[in-house]
């Protein structure tokens, strides 16, 4: 039996790949908040679509068929009720939603593959603009402290110029909440041409990404991310980079702990010298 995970984050991530009729199906499942008759016959009649369209939609979401979609969707409704009952503040509702969606999107085998790349490739580059750039800088700071040769790129011109230095020994991360940041996509395309390993962390999964990204790590999405007035836009990316960082620390812990302690010691020594 399939593991019970919410299907809503996956539907949202694949939304841009759907046909117009498939988007109407997606909208139905995303916006509905009530349990009911989700039989293939009932939903097809309600949406004025064929049963075959619902089956194709389920498979496009990476499921075995419509029955599995409904199974996962009912769990989504249960989780939604749980979130509402546990939350008392609006901002906590959104943060809990993002945490829950992050868990449901998590592909642990993918995370393990990515983590193994840190030891396989000599140089790591992580790029992002704006809020994603803040995450890139944070990622550089954390991984640098455990011995990774990593650079963060947060300005468009520098991102584009750095492409000429990439080769088969490079591991390149692109960070973009929207998945539309042209400088980041340009970097990944050029890196792919130069045989670098490419990883995109985003809230959207578009077909064209698969042409130049070896790994597409999906982060949680909510409408509030676009406004940025309740939920910090960088939060979904931070959650995913934290998961990658934690998994990396779990590999060869003693060596990485020693690197981390050494960097803290150097920083502490610098603080002491400034006080003299």
For 19-68, the pLDDT digits (tens) are 999 999 999 999 888 888 999 999 999 999 999 999 999 999 989 999 99
- pLDDT score for 81: 59
Domains of the chain as residue ranges with CATH:
8-86 (1.10.10.10), 108-266 (3.40.50.10490)
The band of 187, judged by pLDDT with boundaries at 50, 70 and 90, is very high
Q: Which stretch of 58-67, 83-92, 236-245 has the lowest confidence by average pLDDT?
A: 83-92
Residue 87 has pLDDT above 50, yes or no: no
d(CA 193, CA 199): 14
What is the pLDDT at residue 92? 73
Q: CA nearest 107: which of 243, 253, 221, 238?
A: 243
Q: How far is CA 81 from CA 33, 76, 85, 148, 211, in A?
A: 9, 9, 6, 42, 39
Q: List Cβ neighbours of 11 (8 Å cut-off, separation of 6 or more).
A: 26, 29, 30, 61
271 pLDDT tier (thresholds 50, 70, 90)? low
pLDDT in tens, 70-85: 988 888 787 665 554 4
> In this structure, are strands 170-176 and 150-153 parallel, antiparallel, or unpaired?
unpaired
Written as six digits, the tokens of 1 are: 């039996």
Tell me: the pLDDT tens digits for 142-176?
Answer: 999 888 999 999 999 999 999 999 999 999 999 99
More confident residue, 103 or 88: 103
Dig out the tokens for 236 from the structure. Answer: 């979904």
DSSP designation for 67: H
Measured CA to CA, the distance from residue 46 to residue 41 in angstroms comes to: 9
136 touches 152 (CB < 8 A): yes
Mean pLDDT of 246-274: 66
Look over the chain and give the mean of its residue pLDDT values, rounded to a whole number: 86
d(CA 32, CA 24) in angstroms, rounded, equals: 12
> What pTM did the predictor assign?
0.69
Residue 93 has pLDDT above 90, yes or no: no
Q: What confidence tier does 223 reach under pLDDT thresholds 50, 70, 90?
A: low
| pLDDT greater than 70 at residue 191 | yes
- Angle of CA points 176, 244, 111, to nearest 5°: 95
The one-character DSSP state at 215 is E
């Amino acid at each position: 039996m399939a593991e019970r995970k919410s299907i809503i984050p996956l539907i949202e991530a694949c939304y841009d790949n759907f046909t117009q009729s498939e988007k109407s199906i997606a909208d139905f499942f995303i916006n509905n908040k009530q349990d009911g008759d989700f039989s293939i016959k009932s939903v097809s009649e309600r949406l004025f679509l064929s049963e075959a369209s619902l089956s194709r939609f389920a498979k496009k979401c990476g499921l075995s068929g419509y029955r599995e979609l409904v199974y996962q969707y009912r769990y989504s409704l249960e989780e939604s009720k749980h979130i509402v009952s546990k939350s008392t503040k609006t901002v906590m509702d959104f943060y809990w939603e993002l945490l829950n969606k992050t868990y449901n999107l998590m592909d642990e085998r993918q995370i393990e593959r990515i983590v193994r790349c840190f030891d396989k490739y000599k140089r790591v580059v992580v790029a992002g603009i704006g809020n994603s750039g803040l995450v890139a800088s944070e990622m550089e700071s954390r991984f640098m402290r455990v011995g990774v040769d990593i650079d963060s790129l947060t300005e468009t011109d520098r991102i584009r110029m750095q492409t000429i230095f990439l080769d088969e020994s490079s591991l390149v991360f692109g960070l973009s909440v929207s998945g539309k940041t042209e400088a980041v996509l340009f970097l990944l395309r050029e890196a792919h041409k130069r045989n670098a390993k490419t990883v995109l962390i985003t809230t959207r999964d578009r077909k064209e990404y698969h042409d130049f990204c070896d790994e597409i790590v999906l982060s949680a999405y909510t409408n509030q991310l676009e406004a940025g007035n309740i939920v910090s836009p960088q939060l979904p990316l931070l959650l995913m980079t934290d998961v990658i960082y934690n998994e990396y620390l779990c590999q060869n812990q003693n060596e990485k702990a020693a690197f981390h302690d050494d960097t803290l010691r150097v920083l502490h020594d610098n603080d002491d010298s400034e006080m003299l």
